[in-house]
A and B are shown apart, each in its own frame.
Chain A
Amino acid sequence: MNTRRPLRFATLLATLLLAAGAQADTVLLNASYDVARDLYKDYNPAFQKAWQAKTGEKIEVKQSHGGSSKQVRAVADGLEADVVTMNQATDVDFLADKGLVAKDYTKKFPNNASPYTSTMVFIVRKGNPKGIKDWSDLVKSGVQVIVPHPKNTGNGRYTYLAAWGYALKQPGGSDKSAQEFVSKLLKNAPLFGTGGRDATTTFMQRRLGDVLVTFESEAELIAKEFGRGDFEVIYPSVSILTEFPVALVEKVVDKKGTRKQAHAYLEYLWSKEGQEIIAENYLRPRDPEVLKKHAAQFPAIKTFTVDETFGGWSKAFKAHFVDGGSFDQIYSVK
């Protein structure tokens, strides 16, 4: 066996490590969810330029992407991220409980600390052969619905809450009728995808199911990957407003002395330029002017928030997604 090879690799590794930390004055680490790379790939250089023009300081922003709650667990376990940019309040709440993020993080920035929003829409096959228009069509027999796992994935949880909220808002709607509605809908699901991307592959490539429920922003990504001619986007009568909270990791910025830069990094998301980049990535900007400019891309849709309908994420989570919650109840009677 050649014993020198591992050594050479070790040297290589060491060089690699040394090469990393050099250069910029300040290095920020942004721990984010996994489809946000495109957004921050555009946003980070814009911020760097703006910050350097303003202060003369050079900033490098490193990105860490992964499953939302996995990322948050890593931060709680010592991943030194200066900021977290997530797709669900539950995940940031966990860090707030651990004392890593301010308890009132939603008040530290405008709009509930969510610089952009999105909503859940339907993707159907070209020509909409099953005539799917609204949530009520998803529970019809003979309609197959493709959704990511409603309990374990952010995407799936929003879908679940959206359907629940829709049923709740129907005349005579109650928690009981909502649970029946959601349970019927899930009976139409032949499988639960591992994540949003997996559900899409199942629907688009393996051609299973009649309708895919997903984020509005994903529709554009689907078009990029599979071409536009193969599917249609359907906006239901009402859907859920999905928020993407951002927060400073207090403990880390204090330790690294990067509070000023990290705060500016998040704040810049609300600037005209930040909002523009957000809109270009098919996420709904908060700035009304920017939204208006991109109106063609964001059809008007009636939405409800988790706070309004479910009394906040932590309540919604406890009622529906913990062990023994409403999702588990659907699968306990058999």
Chain B
Amino acid sequence: MTVRRANNEPRWMRVLLLVVALGFLALFLGFPLVTVFYEALKKGVDAYLAGLADPEARSAILLTLGVAAAAIPFNIAFGVAAAWAIAKFDFRGKSLLITLIDLPFAVSPVVAGLLFVLIFGSQGWLGPWLAEHDIKIIFAIPGIVLATLFVTFPFVARELIPLMQAQGKDEEEAAVSLGASGWQMFWRVTVPNIKWGLLYGVILANARAMGEFGAVSVVSGHIRGETNTLPLHVEILYNEYQSVAAFASASILALLALVTLVAKTVVEWRMRKETEMLTADLPPEKTE
């Protein structure tokens, strides 16, 4: 952001850090991104667009967006609640709780999908009951949402915990002692403080939700035009030697990841306007 630090690193150090950071990102992100678009556009723009015009591709895009959106409110509610309890209070077993929150990451995605098959599959615990009542969980959209929630489980909480810990609880305590109600304190003090972390968490969870392949592939049933998400669609196209269409679909996912750019810019711009209005009367902070 625009606040200039009074005591920056020496110039050579800044250049070095910049070069290292950009070099690392180029090697691991830049090249793969360019490759995806190169493969997608290898046979021209027409082939690229044709790959996306397929009704199956369109329904896959819609399904992927829908599932990701459905996961957001769950992730926010859980992340904020967990971070609040963990960062603002002391209780025994905290490290255990954090570890349990991390655990879904360490579970191989395919195993994650399998978990839900073990519960909801026709040979699973609830399978016979569900079949009797004609409720479909796996091989239908609820199963895809469940698998997505599982693989995105830790994101928001894990993003918020270190932030809220670093911020401490003095501000909230001050608000409460000044007579604010719990929700007033939450909306007026906590939310403004954590909004960046929350945004990062949601964006990350969202990106992961859209890109998830392994867990979803186990519970989706792969029904074309119905339960086929975009990553599954990409795999099938690739296996069928339609690599232009496959990479075109993948490039859509890459572009969706770049919405961070838009979201962050918009939020930042709005916030700056807000703070400008608030601090208009105050003398600007001096930087040397």
Residue positions of A touching B, CB distance < 8 A: 1, 3, 5-6, 9-10, 12-13, 16-17, 20, 29, 34-35, 37-38, 62-66, 70-71, 73-74, 76-80, 195-197, 200, 221-222, 224-225
Contacts and interface: CB of A to CB of B under 8 A. Distances in A.
Given A65-B236, A78-B131, A225 B223 contact: no
Contacts of B225: 20, 62
A118 to B, nearest CB: 15
The winner among B124, B141, B198, B226 for most chain A CB atoms within 10 A is B226
A38 B241 CA distance: 10
B204 interface: no
B243 A225 contact: yes
6 contacts: A16-B66, A64-B223, A70-B218, A76-B123, A77-B139, A224-B241
B139 A74 contact: yes
B223 A29 contact: yes
A34 B72 contact: no
B70 A9 contact: yes
A221 B139 contact: no
A5 B69 contact: yes
- Chain A to chain B: the 10 pairs with minimum beta-carbon distance, closest first: A77-B121, A78-B122, A9-B69, A13-B66, A221-B241, A225-B241, A64-B222, A66-B222, A79-B139, A79-B221
Contacts of A62: 223-226
Contact of A64 (B117, B131, B224): B224
Interface stretch (B57-65, B81-89, B252-260): B57-65
Contacts of A74: 139, 218, 221-222
A74 B138 CA distance: 9
Interface of B: 59, 62-63, 65-66, 69-70, 72-73, 76, 117, 120-124, 127, 131, 138-139, 141, 198, 202, 217-218, 221-226, 232, 235-236, 238-241, 243
B94 to A, nearest CB: 27
Nearest to A9: B69
Nearest to A200: B241
A302 B104 CA distance: 51
B231 to A, nearest CB: 12
The winner among A71, A77, A80 for most chain B CB atoms within 10 A is A77
Contact of A78 (B62, B127, B226, B239): B127
Contacts, number: 99
The winner among B66, B73, B117, B243 for most chain A CB atoms within 10 A is B66
B66 A9 contact: yes
A63 B59 CA distance: 14
A330 to B, nearest CB: 25
Contact of B222 (A13, A35, A71): A71
Report whether over half of chain B's contact residues are helix, strand or loop; otherwise say mixed: helix
Contacts of B76: 1
B224 A65 contact: yes
B240 A17 contact: no
A20 B240 CA distance: 25
A277 to B, nearest CB: 16
A13 B240 contact: no
Given A6-B72, A13-B66, A197-B238, A77 B124 contact: yes
A83 B179 CA distance: 67
B217 to A, nearest CB: 7
The winner among A80, A221, A222 for most chain B CB atoms within 10 A is A80
Contact of B123 (A6, A63, A77): A77
Given A1-B76, A63-B224, A80-B139, 6 more contacts: A16-B63, A64-B221, A70-B218, A71-B222, A74-B222, A78-B123
Contacts of B221: 64, 74, 79
Given A13-B141, A76-B123, A78-B121, A6 B240 contact: no
Given A78-B121, A224-B241, A6 B70 contact: yes
Contacts of B222: 64-66, 71, 74
A221 B66 contact: no
A29 B221 CA distance: 11
B260 to A, nearest CB: 15
A3 B124 CA distance: 36
A13 to B, nearest CB: 4
Contacts of A16: 59, 62-63, 66
Contacts of B141: 13, 17
Contact of A20 (B138, B202, B226, B232): B226
Contacts of A5: 69
A238 to B, nearest CB: 27
Nearest to A205: B243
Contacts of A3: 73
B241 A77 contact: no
Contacts of A66: 217, 222, 232, 236
B240 A221 contact: yes
Contacts of A80: 139
Nearest to B72: A6
A4 to B, nearest CB: 11
B69 to A, nearest CB: 4
B131 A10 contact: no
Contacts of B240: 34-35, 37-38, 221
Contacts of B63: 13, 16
A200 B138 CA distance: 33
The winner among A35, A64, A73, A221 for most chain B CB atoms within 10 A is A64
Nearest to B139: A79
Contacts of B72: 6
A1 B187 CA distance: 12
A71 B235 CA distance: 14
Contacts of B239: 34-35, 195-197
B66 A10 contact: yes
